[in-house]
A = this chain, B = another copy of it.
Amino acid sequence: MALFEARDPDFEARVRADFARQGLMTTLGAELVDVSPGEVTISMPFRADLTQQHGYLHAGAITAIVDSACGYAALSLMPAGVEVLTVEYKVNFLAPASGSRFIARGRVTKPGRTLTVCTGDVFVPDSDGRERHIATMLTTMMALAPRMAD
């Protein structure tokens, strides 16, 4: 059940095309798993060249995928032609980023004409089918119409 209705019927194609232009997502090996109105899921496998000093995934890599998930969750509700920009985010790291795969889910908390507030979470699927919650994000995204640049 979708919590929101997309104003642009082509929202998924638009999000997927935009994601494909993010060089960093390719570099990180991240994939767009699911695009629903107001909710986007990105998946990324563990790689040793994305780690911090203890061998866990670096906070910056975790942040990159959950930022993109939140940004595209916001974009999925925006009218055609509008672009999305990250204004700011806050991330809490809840547990060591160990595991073989990382799932980032971004959801719109409050859509708006100019600003959209999103919540994102990063999970590690464990071998027993449960998900370990390793990070949570609260973020403000901005709609950028061609003439609205600031």
CB-defined contacts of A90 to chain B, threshold 8 Å: 88-91, 138
Q: How many residues of A contact B (CB 8 A)?
A: 54
Q: Which residue of B lies closest to A54 (CB)?
A: B83
CA separation between A52 and B28, bound complex, in Å? 12
Q: Are A21 and B60 in contact (CB under 8 A)?
A: no
Q: Are A50 and B63 in contact (CB under 8 A)?
A: no
Given contacts A52-B22, A59-B64, A63-B63, are A87 and B92 in contact (CB under 8 A)? Answer: yes
Query: Can you list, as one digit per residue, whether each of A95-125 has a CB less than 8 Å from chain B (1) or not (0)?
Result: 1000000000000011011110101000000
10 contacts between A and B (CB under 8 A): A23-B48, A23-B49, A23-B51, A24-B51, A24-B58, A27-B49, A92-B109, A92-B138, A92-B140, A117-B136
The answer, yes or no, to whether A80 is at the interface (CB within 8 Å) is: no
User: Which of A25, A119, A133, A138 gathers the greatest number of chain B CB atoms within 10 Å?
Assistant: A138
